């Protein structure tokens, strides 16, 4: 098992229909197909199927939440008013998405929480991750001519071959209010980013 697979083991365990041996960026690339597979195998009565959305009956979606499939919202999740889920989103059991958050092509691990006015793009969050208000997980190098994402893990540089990839966060990570995680950020379990912090692991 690679370092990234160990980092995100809680997500692989929570979503057995993902390929646990695949790299996280392949999870994101294949989310539409994976969600469709999960939808086909969902237990009748426990889930609501609404177009490309699969929503557990115990989940709560407040009025004004926008959900654009494909999306998988697990047991006990809560999606607050004016949250916006798009481009393939998976919320593992017990995840909470606060008001005004935008999540694009991402997996939010079990029990993880986004406070409000967060952007999470092309990212995978482990279990019990907490984002305070206004924290941003950026997914694209707008200011660079070279848009390629590079990940720095265990002393190695990985090239996933994508132009968009946000953060890969281990279990229990804490991100302070108005912090920004630059594209390709990898944080080990229990890492803490202070309020107004900037994480930029790939410097040019």
Starting at the edge strand that comes first in sequence, how are the strands of the sheet with 78-79 ordered? 60-61, 78-79, 96-97, 113-114, 130-131, 174-175, 192-193
Distance CA 156, CA 139 (A): 20
| Number of Cβ within a 10 Å radius of residue 142 | 8
Q: Tell me whether strands 60-61 and 124-125 are parallel, antiparallel or unpaired.
A: unpaired
Q: Tell me whether strands 124-125 and 167-169 are parallel, antiparallel or unpaired.
A: parallel
What are φ and ψ of residue 37, in 5° steps? -65, -45
Tokens found for residue 82: 């004016």
Give, for 96, the enclosing helix (H) or strand (E): strand 96-97
**Which amino acids are annotated catalytic?**
116
Distance CA 40, CA 132 (A): 35
């Amino acid at each position: 098992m690679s370092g990234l697979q160990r980092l995100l083991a809680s997500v692989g365990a929570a979503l057995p229909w993902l390929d646990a041996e695949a790299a996280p960026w392949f999870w994101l690339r294949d989310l539409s197909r994976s969600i469709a597979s999960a939808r086909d195998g969902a237990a009748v009565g426990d889930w609501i199927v609404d177009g490309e959305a699969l929503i557990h009956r115990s989940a709560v979606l407040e009025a004004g939440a926008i959900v654009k499939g494909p999306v998988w919202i697990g047991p006990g999740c809560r999606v607050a008013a004016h949250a916006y889920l798009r481009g393939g989103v998976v919320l593992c059991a017990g995840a909470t998405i606060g008001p005004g958050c935008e999540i694009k092509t991402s997996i939010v691990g079990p029990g993880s929480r986004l406070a409000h006015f967060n952007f999470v793009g092309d990212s995978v969050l482990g279990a019990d991750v907490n984002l305070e208000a206004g924290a941003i997980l950026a997914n694209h190098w707008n200011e660079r001519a070279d848009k390629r994402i590079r990940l720095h893990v265990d002393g190695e540089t990985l090239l996933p071959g994508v132009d968009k990839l946000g953060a890969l966060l281990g279990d229990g990570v804490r991100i302070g209010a108005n912090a920004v995680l630059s594209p390709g950020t990898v944080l080990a379990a229990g890492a803490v980013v202070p309020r107004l912090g900037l994480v930029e692991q790939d410097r040019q």
